[in-house]
Structure 1
Amino acid sequence: MTGSAATGPIAVLIRHGDYHQRKNVPSALQPFPLTEKGKTQAEVCGEDLAAWLSDQRLTLNPIVYSSCQLRAWQTARLACDVLIKHGHTLTIEQTPSLAERSVGSAANLTLEEIETILTEDPRFDTPPVAWKSDSDYCLPLQGAESLIMAGQRVADHLTRTTAQQPAGTVTLHFGHGASFRHAAHQLGVLTRDQIAQYSMHHARPLHLCHIENGTWAQTGGTWKIRQLTDKTLD
């Protein structure tokens, strides 16, 4: 999956660090902060980015993008503080475009609560058994998205904010694993089957380069291999 040396602007995708996630709750809009482990991951991320930028002699876009969720913003803030110490001038811009898949009016309810609501509402069918990981399934609730819809939203953001930058310019994006994976698929970097095979490491940069012919390629970083028993919701 990893392409050759970068020939265009680079979008660096960074999943938030470890955080205080409620059990069995789709994690899109959970408002909780990073754990101490997550804070350390974010600081290490900043050091790794600083070393990579220096080694490759790349230009860092002074605008850094983060989702509006606290865990993503904290990860961005801590990593950027490290980069600032290394001489970079940065401003964090929060955007809902980088949010995880929304479950709409069911935000922050448990999986069991969501399924009960749908079962008891005469307007709706019972959701599929594996609905939470079904890329195409969208809860029939106000404000809800499918994973593919969320991925397109993030892909549009990456194209809008990164593709027009000069070659060799790096733009940082702090967000969420599932919507980043589905965005990578929408951009042609992951196949449909690979979406389910991979996750993302906490606060570990993954590099996507916008090539001159308008395509995207992975040029750095590694996906996390998803275990069959992995029940991660983000």
Structure 2
Amino acid sequence: MTDAIKIDVWSDIACPWCYIGKRNLEKGLAEASGDDDAPAVEVVFHSFELSPDTPVDFEGGEADYLATHKGISRDQAQQMLDRVTGVAAEAGLEYRFDLLKHTNTVKAHELLHFAKEQGRQHEVAERLMSAYFTEGRHLGDEAELVTLAADTGLDADAAREALRSGRFLDAVRADQAQAQAYGINGVPFFVIDGKYGVSGAQPAEAFAQIVRQVWAEHRDEAPVSA
């Protein structure tokens, strides 16, 4: 049997290009899944904090944050947001930067590791990104995170305990250390089978093409049955 392709994805739930990249990856994998010899793929999400110094309760909107963080005017920041909103729409996502609550994401990353332990990482990653970019939910707030975890079927009390104990913080830091070792300084970043790096929110067709290529490599490397 040919081994599955492993795709490790470094992302931040507060990164607009990461949600677009996630959706495009899903579309690309769905396209390749229709092949006669469809690739088997395992996707694992890893933590990357774009702005670890961001306060939990940031004062101001997303344009204010971008203007300060990037040293640009508020008008330039708004133009950047308008552009990414358009790209998101092409991916089928309705971004609402007018509602978005900029916050520190470390607790959201801890929740993602708890969800991974429970076998629901993909569901929680989707719920968190949707909540952040389309619903204006406060993902730095523990109670909000617990509610969103429960939305995906996770036990609310267990999620709350995981966040309060901080027992997944080491896993977050390990992901960040691995990103540094790989030389990753921007997200989304996709590592395929530990040997190919793909940077940025690539189109769905690009993801379909690369998994087909890597799947062909897997077939060529697979041992021949006696």
Q: Which structure has the highest strand share of the two?
A: 1
TM-score, normalising length from structure 2?
0.30
TM-score, normalising length from structure 1?
0.29
Q: Which structure has the highest helix share of the two?
A: 2
